[in-house]
Structure formats: structure tokens, C-alpha cells
Amino acid sequence: MPMHKPALAAQSWGSLVPLERLDAELVRAGMMMWRALKHEARFPCRARMTSCLTTPLRDGSFLVEVLEEGADYRYRDVGAALVRGFNADFSGRRLSGIITEAPRFGLGMRMLYEMVRAAGEPLGYRGWVGEDLPDAAFVHHESVILPLGEEQAVDHLLVVSSLVLRQGS
């Protein structure tokens, strides 16, 4: 009997998840590394964190550069697993451009990034893909957004994500 693809919701959606309730091994590994590298500081610096990423963490993460104190964000170093999952490499793109193309998705990302940038604290997020992201090769993700920076200012975010791919992807 042929397998049918499950119907997707009309809109993607997600929810904040307490860090201790994140399940994905890759996401937990990213949080543990972040905690180990920050020592007594509020958060580790970008260079220190990115230089320590293992291949699985590098493949399942992307770096987001904070521009003009959060006026915009630029995607950098998108990992191979996420390029496959999104069917696109968005390295070099700005969040403002993504908001123009996919407003609901982009504004949701902006809200999450701003929460982490302003608080300087990691944030857990779990979400499901809907018909509004037709090119995505995944149906579910679990992520942690980790603040990076110097002294008290967050200048980058590291997003570590574990994706559940669609059947046949």
C-alpha cells in the first residue's frame, strides 16, 4: 500500500520550550558547549564558540550577526543539514529580506532573535512546518538560540536545530 504524505497545517507554528525540556541530542550538545565556554561571563564570544563546534554541531547550526543593535540580522555560516532542510542556503541574506518574502515566518524569527539579543539568555523553540513554507524538506524542528558576544553586548546568535525531514527527503 503506498504511503501518503501527511497533510500540513496551513501555517507553520511553534512554541517556546523551557531549555530543560528540549529533547534533541544535538540541541542539548549545543547548550552544554555554550554553558562550558561562557565560564563566568554572561555568554561566550563568537570566535570561541564557533571554533569549538564539532562537525554535527556545525552542520546543524547557523550563525546570525546582529546588525545595528538589532535593527536587522544577517545569516552567516548555514550548516549543511539546514541547507538540505530548507532546500536553500540563506548565508549572507538579511532577515529584513526574508520578512519581505515570508512575513509571518520572518517576523516570528525577528521576535525570537530580539528576545535573545535583549535578554542575553538562550531560548528554546520547537516548531512545525506548514504549507506557508512549501520548499522546506522538514516537518518539525527543535532549536536553541544561543547569545554570543563581548562583555555585555550580544553581537551574534548561534541557532542549533535538529530537523525531522519529510518522508523521502
In a domain, 2, yes or no: no
Domain with 161, as residue range(s), is 13-165
Q: Where are the alpha helices (DSSP H) in the chain?
A: 25-38, 46-51, 55-59, 80-86, 95-101, 103-119
pTM for this predicted structure: 0.90
As a whole number of angstroms, the distance between CA 24 and CA 22 comes to 6
Is residue 112 domain-resident? Answer: yes
Select the more confidently predicted residue: 8 or 49.
49
pLDDT at 1: 42
Report yes or no: 66 and 156 within 8 Å, Cβ to Cβ. Answer: yes
Quick one: pLDDT at residue 168? 57
Q: What is the CATH number of the domain that holds 44?
A: 3.30.450
Per DSSP, the three-state class of 2 is: coil
Identify the sign of the CA torsion 7, 142, 111, 135: negative
The answer to whether position 82 is within a domain reads yes
In a domain, 25, yes or no: yes
Cell 512575513 sits at which residue?
Answer: 103
- 4, part of any domain: no
pLDDT at residue 7, as a whole number: 61
Amino acid letter for position 155? D
Cell match 515566518: residue?
105
Give the count of domains, the chain: 1
Q: pLDDT band at residue 13, thresholds of 50, 70 and 90?
A: confident
Q: Is 101 helix (H, G, I), strand (E, B) or coil?
A: helix
Please compute the mean of the pLDDT values over residues 123-130 and round it to a whole number: 90
Express each pLDDT in 45-101 by its tens digit.
999 999 999 999 999 999 999 999 999 999 999 999 999 998 889 999 999 999 998
Q: Apex CA 74: angle with CA 51 and CA 56, to 5°?
A: 35
Q: What is the DSSP letter of 61?
A: E
Whether residue 145 lies inside any domain: the answer is: yes
What count of other Cβ atoms lies within 10 Å of the Cβ of residue 32?
10
Q: What is the pLDDT of residues 92-124, one digit of tens each?
A: 999 999 999 888 888 999 999 999 999 999 999
Q: Is residue 147 part of a domain?
A: yes
pLDDT value at 132 more than 70:
yes
Beta carbons within 8 Å of 102's beta carbon, 6+ residues apart? 132, 133
Residue with the larger pLDDT of the pair 132 and 164:
164
On whether residue 103 sits in a domain, the answer given is yes
CB atoms within 10 A of CB 104: 14
Calculate what percentage of the chain has a pLDDT beyond 90: 70
